[in-house]
């Protein structure tokens, strides 16, 4: 079986070429030694870097050049470790680069606060007299957004010393959730075995209904039994973030967290408003599932059962998936396809599941070389979708690295998921066109598209709405008790689920098993990214080359401007509702097609 394949047995062409990062282990070791010296040199510049424009330029240049080198070293060690987490050399290299990174952070801890503390007149003088500083204008402007929100040095030092305590609620939740929580035993797949989070997925999609019910009840009961501890961690986390926002002179924690990417708070509110305005579409989908599956009542644990009840009708090999990807992404132009061929032929992708390899999939890159993608291939449509998803990330990395200075190519989370999900939409549209005479495949592909939209945009918007409730409730002095949290959760969830879904008839605390609530206004970005990607894909397929050119302009922009401006230049204004309305219209069209096929 694939999961028994040893690393040494994997074909070389299907593995990463880490020599593109460092040709030899000695080169990696030399890079770490160089980074130690760079950090030490930067530490000595703290007292004189504002002496004049030349000193200022040297410190800024040295700092960002060091970050580029540090990123490359981190990537090498990360990939070395990911390809075999049991390898002693990889583990040691990962530990070494983390130690170097920590030392560098300590040596340069003065840098950002000093940039913030610099008065505007002096900075303007430096920039006028030292033209080379123009290369760093965007990153200096980002740091300067903290002006008015940075405390005196002694107070900043105190906050730094308290950082572990201020973030302890999330660490406690993670320990409880990942280490202490158990879900009992379950009879599944012909044997009695421990119920785990990993097993919940296969049970939800393929187990008999009585097994799904038992698993769901056991799973949710475990969280309910620990509801007081989970509620306490959420309360303490929200309190810490609200307090830090107040100390830093923000109106709210949301304002503080969205300010990091200069995203207006109205973007968040518009997402929730537009999602509510289109809940009727979500209710239609749930009603369709209820009808097709013949379930009355239909419960939450029925939500992942395939509508066809059959084995997925699409099972591509890796070679077939690559060929399909090139055809599906052809609307993006020959230059895009040339980069994609370089990925497929240049050992950018580590394909097979091997012993000790990190699970799942991801993409990462360092400036001056190519991106790297991790897969665990198993000949499924999901694997093909993951390939084009991660390739979307890779192409954004390629285009931004080609067109921007290194430090301006590191695109933020707000835009990071757009390129990947645009590719998924283009793949799905291509596959639907190719299988239009095969009803079973059409149903399968439309179900994939519709389910992905509901699971990403609707679900993440629901989480974002609940997250905002928690922050506001704690800020107003009301404790986040299990009863308070469950009452509000049930209210919001009922609005999203609609009349077709019947609540489970046992005590539950669903809010307790969403770790992303500790990531500080993170989830709304998944929903906005899905909507933006849906709009991009629709425009590319209906408007052709002009829309593809705008999209590649977005890919090329990296972090050269705020995310809002980057998207606006590519034709999407996230400060308005248009992009969301366009995405919901696409979703409605796909839902209508699915309804017609299943009628």
**pLDDT by 10s per residue, the chain, length 599:** 334 689 999 999 999 999 999 999 999 999 999 999 999 999 999 999 999 999 999 999 999 999 999 999 999 999 999 999 999 999 999 999 999 999 999 999 899 999 999 999 999 999 999 999 999 999 999 999 999 998 887 888 788 788 888 889 998 999 999 888 999 999 999 999 999 988 998 899 889 999 999 999 999 999 999 999 999 999 999 999 999 999 999 999 999 999 989 999 999 999 999 999 999 999 999 999 999 999 999 999 999 998 887 788 999 999 999 999 999 999 999 999 999 999 999 999 999 999 999 988 999 999 999 999 999 999 999 999 999 999 999 999 999 999 999 999 999 999 999 999 999 999 999 999 999 999 999 999 999 999 999 999 999 999 999 999 999 999 999 999 999 999 999 999 999 999 999 999 999 999 999 999 999 999 999 999 999 999 999 999 999 999 999 999 999 999 999 999 999 999 999 999 999 999 999 999 999 999 999 98
Whether the pTM exceeds 0.85: the reply is yes
Could you tell me which of 82, 75, 78, 97 has the C-alpha nearest to residue 7? Answer: 82
CATH code linked to domain 168-310+456-518: 1.10.1370.20
Residue with tokens 């061929």: 341
Six token digits for residue 587: 């979703």
CA 121/CA 144 separation, integer angstroms = 13
Report the top-level CATH class of 18-161: mainly alpha
Confidence at residue 3, expressed as pLDDT on a 0 to 100 scale: 45
User: Which listed residue (363, 390, 448, 467) is catalytic?
Assistant: 390
Instruction: Please state at what angle helix 381-403 crosses helix 439-453, rounded to 10 degrees.
Output: 50
Six token digits for residue 453: 């939209």
Q: CB of 523 within 8 A of CB of 460?
A: yes
Six token digits for residue 582: 């366009």
C-alpha distances (whole Å) from 505 to each of 22, 220, 405, 576 are 57, 11, 57, 40
Residues of the chain with CATH 1.20.140.70: 18-161
Residue with tokens 């001056």: 368
CA angle 540, 544, 550 (to 5 degrees): 60
Six token digits for residue 263: 């995203």
C-alpha distances (whole Å) from 355 to each of 216, 246, 352, 373, 524 are 31, 48, 10, 18, 35
Task: Say if residue 1 is exposed, middle or buried (CB neighbours under 10 Å; 0-12, 13-18, 19+).
Answer: exposed
Query: What is the largest distance, in Å, between two alpha-carbon atoms of the chain?
Result: 76
Could you tell me which of 235, 234, 192 has the C-alpha nearest to residue 214? Answer: 192
Please count the other Cβ atoms lying within 10 Å of the Cβ belonging to residue 164.
9
CA 593/CA 449 separation, integer angstroms = 11
Let me know if 334 is a catalytic residue: no
User: Residues 514, 520, 525, 527: is their CA dihedral positive or negative?
Assistant: positive
CA 356/CA 347 separation, integer angstroms = 20
Pairing outcome for strands 372-374 and 362-364:
antiparallel
C-alpha distances (whole Å) from 327 to each of 151, 315, 322, 334, 517 are 54, 17, 9, 11, 39
Residues of the chain with CATH 1.10.1370.20: 168-310+456-518
Confidence at residue 359, expressed as pLDDT on a 0 to 100 scale: 85
């Amino acid at each position: 079986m694939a999961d028994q394949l040893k690393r040494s047995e994997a074909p070389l062409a299907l593995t990463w070429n880490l020599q593109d990062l460092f040709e030899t282990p000695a080169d990696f070791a030399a890079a770490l030694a160089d980074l130690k010296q760079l950090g030490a040199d930067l530490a000595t510049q703290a007292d004189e870097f504002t002496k004049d424009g030349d000193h200022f330029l040297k410190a800024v240049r040295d700092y960002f050049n060091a970050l580029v080198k540090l990123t490359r070293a981190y990537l090498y060690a990360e990939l070395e470790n990911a390809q075999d987490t049991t390898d002693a050399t990889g583990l040691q290299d990962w530990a070494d680069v983390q130690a170097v990174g920590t030392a560098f952070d300590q040596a340069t801890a003065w840098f950002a606060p000093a940039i913030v503390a610099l008065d505007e007149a002096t900075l303007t003088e430096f920039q006028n007299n030292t033209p080379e500083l123009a290369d760093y204008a965007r990153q200096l402007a980002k740091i300067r957004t903290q002006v008015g929100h940075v405390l005196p040095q002694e107070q900043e030092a105190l906050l730094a010393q308290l950082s572990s305590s201020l973030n302890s609620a999330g660490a406690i939740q993670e320990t409880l959730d990942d280490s202490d929580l158990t879900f009992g035993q379950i009879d599944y797949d012909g044997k009695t075995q421990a119920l785990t989070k990993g097993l919940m997925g296969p049970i939800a999609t393929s187990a008999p209904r009585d097994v799904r019910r038992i698993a769901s009840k056991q799973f949710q009961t475990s969280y309910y039994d620990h509801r007081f501890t989970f509620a306490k961690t959420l309360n303490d986390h929200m309190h810490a973030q609200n307090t830090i926002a107040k100390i830093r002179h923000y109106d709210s924690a949301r304002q503080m967290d969205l300010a990091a990417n200069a995203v207006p708070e109205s973007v968040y509110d518009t997402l929730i408003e537009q999602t509510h305005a289109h809940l009727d579409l979500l209710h239609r989908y749930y009603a369709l599932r209820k009808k097709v599956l013949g379930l009355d009542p239909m419960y939450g644990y029925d939500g992942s059962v395939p509508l066809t009840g059959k084995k997925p009708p699409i099972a591509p090999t890796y070679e077939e998936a690559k060929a399909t990807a090139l055809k599906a992404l052809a609307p993006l132009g020959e230059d895009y396809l040339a980069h994609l061929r370089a990925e497929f032929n240049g050992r950018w992708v580590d394909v097979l599941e091997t012993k000790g390899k990190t699970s799942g999939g991801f993409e990462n890159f360092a400036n001056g070389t190519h991106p790297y993608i991790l897969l665990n291939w198993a000949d499924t449509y999901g694997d093909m979708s993951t390939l084009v998803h991660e390739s979307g990330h890779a192409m954004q990395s390629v285009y931004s690295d080609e067109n921007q200075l290194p430090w301006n190519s590191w695109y933020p989370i707000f835009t990071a998921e757009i390129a990947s999900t645009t590719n998924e939409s283009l793949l799905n549209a291509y596959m639907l066109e190719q299988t239009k005479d095969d009803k079973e495949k059409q149903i399968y592909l439309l179900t994939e598209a519709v389910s992905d939209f509901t699971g990403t945009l609707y679900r993440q918007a629901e989480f974002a709405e609940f997250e905002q409730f928690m922050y506001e409730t704690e800020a107003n002095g009301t404790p986040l008790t299990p009863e308070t949290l469950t009452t509000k959760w049930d209210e919001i969830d009922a609005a999203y689920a609609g009349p077709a879904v019947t609540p489970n008839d046992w005590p539950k605390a669903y809010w307790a098993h969403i770790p992303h609530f500790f990531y500080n206004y993170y989830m709304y970005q998944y929903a906005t990214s899905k909507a933006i990607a849906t709009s991009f894909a629709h425009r590319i397929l209906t408007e052709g080359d002009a829309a593809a050119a705008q999209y590649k302009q977005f890919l090329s922009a990296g972090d050269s401007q705020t995310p809002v401006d980057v998207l606006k230049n590519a034709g999407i204004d996230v400060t308005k509702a248009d992009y969301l309305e366009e995405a919901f219209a696409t979703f409605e069209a796909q839902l209508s097609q699915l309804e017609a096929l299943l009628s």
